[in-house]
Amino acid sequence: MTRAATGRPYVVVLGGVADPPPGLEILDSVAEVAAADTPDELAGVIGDAEIVFAWRPDGELLSSAWEKAGSVRWIQTASAGVDRILFPELVQTEVVLTNAAGIYDDAIAEWVLGSMLVFAKGLIGVLDRQRRREWRHHETEVLTRKKVLIAGVGGIGRAVARRCHATGMRVRGVGRTARPGDEPFEIVLGTDELPDAVTWADYVVDALPATPATRAIFDREVFSEMRPNARFINVGRGSTVDEAALVEALRDADIAGAALDVFEQEPLPPSSPLWDMPNVIVSPHMSGDFAGYRIAVVELFLENLGRYVEDKPLKNVVDKRLGFPARA
Please give the positions annotated as active site: 237, 266, 285
| 272: Cα within 13 Å, side-chain hemisphere | 18
Tally of CB atoms within 10 A around 99: 26
Question: Which DSSP category does 21 fall into?
Answer: P
Tell me the CA end-to-end span of the chain in Å, nearest whole number: 27
Is residue 196 a contact partner of residue 204, using CB atoms and an 8 Å limit?
no
Region of 283 on the Ramachandran plot (φ > 0 left; ψ -120 to 50 alpha; else beta)? beta
19 three-state secondary structure = coil
Is residue 258 a contact partner of residue 273, using CB atoms and an 8 Å limit?
no
Residues of 123-148 as b/e, b for ≥16 C-beta within 10 angstroms? eeeeeeeeeeeeeeeeeeeebeebbb
In the chain, the amino acid numbered 185 is: F
Q: What are the Cα distances from residue 286, in Å, to 19, 80, 236?
A: 18, 13, 12
320 three-state secondary structure = coil
Question: Which DSSP category does 144 fall into?
Answer: T
